[in-house]
Structure 1
């Protein structure tokens, strides 16, 4: 008996990707009723705020370091005068590299470690553990006896920031209904930039103090953030989607119930979609490896998706954000600390306007014009 090759190809199962929105809802919804209608409850709001507030770590640290590095007391106590004349009270180029660049390495390592940690411990407990570890970096920065100890503290804090900056958007996308995912991630970005505004205001208020408190006060606030976030995150449920991926169905459904305010029927329908998506993803990724991202079929998408952050940094934007206060102080242009606040407010205004622009013009035109 002979078999046609076309028949064999047709008989093989063909895997196709699908989005949550493409999976049909179960019958039984009232006419005109959306599957996620009435989904929001207090626990969902608290969960989004707790994980979204983790962006305070990144935003505050990113904006506080430039004013701190430009604070006279900081330079005098941790480095000293740059020249023999005792007039040039600013960080040398080498020390600026240490203070600003070494933490970026910590963030990269933290981001790379996140996948391994979350696969083993989940979204919630990985984030809580990172908050505990961050206390070491915060202590070293506030009470650093020299610049080396300060840079080590910055590295430890940046490692935690790399973890939080990776986990938080992932958790937000997993716990909110599909129709709210874009807005939840936008809230994360707004909170991130808002914390930077706070950092610049605090630094402006303390930089003229004669003594270590000029920089210890802003850094102490950064040290207190993980402790506050630790308490806020303790009562938040683990991601149901992660629990489903680990086969813990009963716990996943229980957590989904805590995160939803709608009927049991809608809950069962959403849980069915989560399970289907997880099964579909497992089938699609069963024989997929990391380096497949750079295959001919995927290379263009990989470069496009990764270009937004990477090209943003290559453009030199870090010179007008992270180094702002240091550069303006050395140039003697106005009040460097006040101008840094203004720059942060402009950044915040852009983040607030962004959701409206995205809804009006779409993601691609906004990205291209930006």
Structure 2
């Protein structure tokens, strides 16, 4: 495969903190677009200029809103693209497709055109949701991985907050630009992604898989040691990556489905990824994300301006709480964070249901305020854990050979479930009202049990060290990264020399596993 012109160019920053920040920004624009979309549709569904223009019924309202999930489900065909052309180029084309969809949506003349546009947007954001987390997980240094992947979906609320403000401002317009302008601004984030990508390195794991080891070493140095390629931390990670990928190519089937059939650890990985996909969509958050206006009406808040104002405050609240959760992801660990978040949101969704039943459409101001407050607490509980974990945990538990396909499966499943709940919830809210929350709360209890029983911890480990914990096999004989971090820099030269000698031995005799078997 011929080298892509963007791999490790001279203008990629030498400063590792700057390089890492740019990496995070390239990928976070995906969730910003999704957050903007969710909040924008919330706002548009409240605006008479939008609902009247398309003469929406309950069915077409759900179709217009949920069609973005249809495109995201279809993006499963993008599964192998990041493996073929690299993580950066895969992210680039995802952003480009999103921009095309945004342009069509802005100019939509009827429901069919609007739905097609949103399917394209969904495909583009789905493709980016496959490539983005993989890119970040494989390229960010361990010390920033929890932050980088955790904040990935924290930016959902940045987009949501921007969209809530935009739709609030355009609501006063008399023309169709009241909904066309928010639609147009949705493409801004994808333009940002394309503008930043030239200044970031390619995934060192992907580069090693292509036999471009020197470029992989430079990529690791750019993000870990301010460009110093002979740093012990860089050399250890480079050896871990090369040894582990050599092991995977030698001992694992190249087919994802064969691995799934033959490997217990692969099945475990896919199961863990699937739990995140299902739980992050079915915890009840999608009711608030897309049909907040309906919830508020049932709670007794019927003024559209007031609904838009509450929507803005809600997104700001969720952004703050999700950042706090991201900060705690390394301190608490992934499993504890998920368990705490799920336990709290379960309590609060039951409270939302009870208060909606008791005070819905009533004249009791205290009841209305209590219902709105409980919605805020529910969304805060969800944001604390599930928002950062949404794309933090899946790429961590997937090993390299199935990471891209595994994230495609994750994206397919998360968007398939998202499509189902986004399309069905308006009918449920219309038919059974408060009982929807009670049913969802019972499901959330099951989620908590699954997390407590089946999840494994991943914090503080390189992706290769996580592989060892799931496989039960040591793929590389280099010291653990946490061990080296405790060694004074002056004493690392001996480690570097030992690594070089060990590398020559491994090269001469085969994989580390083969050496051990000899």
- Whether the TM-score (by the shorter chain) exceeds 0.5 is yes
Q: Secondary structure at the match of 2:173?
A: coil
How far residue 256 of structure 1 moved from its aligned partner, in angstroms, is 3.4
Cα distance in 1 between the residues matched to 2:21 and 2:323: 19
Asked if 1:60 corresponds to 2:36, the answer is yes
**1:74-106, CA deviations, whole angstroms, 9 ceiling, x for partnerless residues?**
122222xxxxxxxxxxx3111122112222121
How far residue 51 of structure 1 moved from its aligned partner, in angstroms, is 2.4
Determine which of 6, 31, 51 is the counterpart of 1:75.
Answer: 51
Asked if 1:212 corresponds to 2:211, the answer is no
**1:203-231, CA deviations, whole angstroms, 9 ceiling, x for partnerless residues?**
11111211111111211111232223211
Determine which of 187, 190, 202 is the counterpart of 2:154.
Answer: 190
Partner residue in 1 for 2:66: 101
Alignment of 1:32-51 (within 5 A): 40-51=16-27
Q: Secondary structure at the match of 1:208?
A: coil
Q: Secondary structure at the match of 1:231?
A: helix
Partner residue in 2 for 1:319: 287
Contact 1:66–1:326 (Cα < 8 Å) also in 2 = no
Distance 1:135 1:262, change over 3 A: closer
Q: How many residues align?
A: 321
Determine which of 319, 327, 335 is the counterpart of 1:348.
Answer: 319
Cα distance in 1 between the residues matched to 2:83 and 2:69: 24
Cα distance in 2 between the residues matched to 1:128 and 1:287: 26
Determine which of 137, 144, 148 is the counterpart of 2:112.
Answer: 148
Contact 2:95–2:125 (Cα < 8 Å) also in 1 = no
Q: Secondary structure at the match of 2:290?
A: coil
Partner residue in 2 for 1:333: 302
How far residue 305 of structure 1 moved from its aligned partner, in angstroms, is 3.5
Q: TM-score scaled by structure 2?
A: 0.57
Alignment of 1:166-177 (within 5 A): 166-177=130-141
How far residue 186 of structure 1 moved from its aligned partner, in angstroms, is 1.4
Contact 1:136–1:156 (Cα < 8 Å) also in 2 = yes
Partner residue in 1 for 2:3: none
Partner residue in 2 for 1:277: 244
Q: TM-score scaled by structure 1?
A: 0.78
Distance 1:281 1:192, change over 3 A: farther
Partner residue in 2 for 1:245: 209
Determine which of 265, 276, 288 is the counterpart of 1:308.
Answer: 276
Cα distance in 2 between the residues matched to 1:167 and 1:264: 26
Contact 1:114–1:167 (Cα < 8 Å) also in 2 = no
How far residue 295 of structure 1 moved from its aligned partner, in angstroms, is 6.9
Q: Which runs of 5+ in 2 are unaligned?
A: 1-13, 342-518
Contact 1:127–1:163 (Cα < 8 Å) also in 2 = yes
Partner residue in 1 for 2:402: none
Distance 1:236 1:179, change over 3 A: closer
How far residue 68 of structure 1 moved from its aligned partner, in angstroms, is 1.5
CA RMSD of aligned residues (A): 2.5
Contact 2:146–2:329 (Cα < 8 Å) also in 1 = no
Partner residue in 2 for 1:92: 57
Cα distance in 2 between the residues matched to 1:133 and 1:338: 32
Cα distance in 2 between the residues matched to 1:113 and 1:288: 16
Runs of 4+ in 1 over 6 A off after TM superposition: none
Asked if 1:228 corresponds to 2:192, the answer is yes
**1:253-303, CA deviations, whole angstroms, 9 ceiling, x for partnerless residues?**
343344341533214443222212221332342366426546794556543
Distance 1:171 1:368, change over 3 A: same
**1:220-246, CA deviations, whole angstroms, 9 ceiling, x for partnerless residues?**
111232223211113322212111111
Cα distance in 2 between the residues matched to 1:47 and 1:234: 10
Q: Secondary structure at the match of 1:264?
A: coil
Q: Secondary structure at the match of 2:45?
A: helix
Contact 2:29–2:189 (Cα < 8 Å) also in 1 = no
Q: Which runs of 5+ in 1 are unaligned?
A: 1-37, 80-90
Contact 2:105–2:113 (Cα < 8 Å) also in 1 = yes
Cα distance in 1 between the residues matched to 2:85 and 2:161: 33
Structure having the higher helix fraction is 2
Cα distance in 1 between the residues matched to 2:297 and 2:330: 39
How far residue 326 of structure 1 moved from its aligned partner, in angstroms, is 5.0
Partner residue in 2 for 1:120: 84
Cα distance in 2 between the residues matched to 1:115 and 1:346: 34
Q: Secondary structure at the match of 1:65?
A: helix
**1:179-216, CA deviations, whole angstroms, 9 ceiling, x for partnerless residues?**
32212111212222222111111111111211111111
Determine which of 290, 296, 303 is the counterpart of 2:257.
Answer: 290
**1:320-348, CA deviations, whole angstroms, 9 ceiling, x for partnerless residues?**
11111355468653411112112212321
Distance 1:220 1:326, change over 3 A: farther
Asked if 1:368 corresponds to 2:339, the answer is yes
